[in-house]
Amino acid sequence: MPAVLHRVLARSAAGTVLLALVLVGLATAPAHAAPQPAGSGVVAGQSVQQVAVQAAGDEKADNKKNKKKARKKAKRQARLKKVNRMLRIVRAQRGDPYQYGAAGPNRFDCSGLVYFSTHKAGFRNVPRTSSQQGRFMRRIPRKAMRPGDFVFFTGGSGVYHVGVFNGRSKGGMTVIHAPGSGQRVTTARIWTSSWYAGTLR
Q: For residues 12 and 139, what is the distance between their CA atoms, to the nearest angstrom?
A: 42
* Cβ atoms within 10 Å of 114's Cβ, excluding its own: 31
- Same domain? 165 vs 119: yes
CATH number of the domain residue 123 falls in: 3.90.1720.10
Give strand pairing partners of 174: 167, 189
Tally of structural domains, the chain: 2
Q: For residue 37, is pLDDT > 50?
A: yes
- Report pLDDT digits (tens) over 92-144: 999 999 999 999 999 999 999 999 999 999 999 999 999 999 999 999 999 99
Q: Is the pLDDT of residue 147 over 70?
A: yes
The letter for the amino acid at 97 is: P
pLDDT category at 41 given cuts 50, 70, 90 is: low
Q: Do 91 and 9 belong together in one domain?
A: no
ω into 35 cis (within 30 of 0): no
Active site (catalytic) residues: 110, 161, 177
What is the structure's pLDDT at 66? Answer: 83
Query: In which band, very low, low, confident or very high, does the pLDDT at 21 lie, cut at 50, 70 and 90?
Result: very low
pLDDT bin (cut points 50, 70, 90) of residue 62 is confident
The parent domain of residue 17 ranges over 3-68
Q: Does the residue 15 lie in any domain?
A: yes
E-strand spans in 126-171?
Answer: 138-140, 150-155, 158-169
Residue 94 lies in a domain: yes
Domain boundary among 23, 38, 68: 68
CB 98 within 8 A of CB 88: no
Domain termination site, one of 17, 39, 68: 68
Per-residue model confidence (pLDDT) at position 8: 40
Contact 129, 111 (CB under 8 A): yes
Q: What is the pLDDT of residue 38?
A: 55
Residues 92 and 164 in one domain: yes
Domain shared by 45 and 92, yes or no: no
On whether both 49 and 114 belong to a single domain, the answer is no
pLDDT for position 36: 52
- Name the more confident of 164 and 50: 164
Specify whether 98 is located in the same domain as 132. yes
Cα-based distances in Å from 199 to 3, 10, 67, 138, 150: 48, 42, 26, 5, 6
- 94 and 63 within one domain: no
In a domain, 75, yes or no: no
| 33 and 93 both lie in a single domain | no
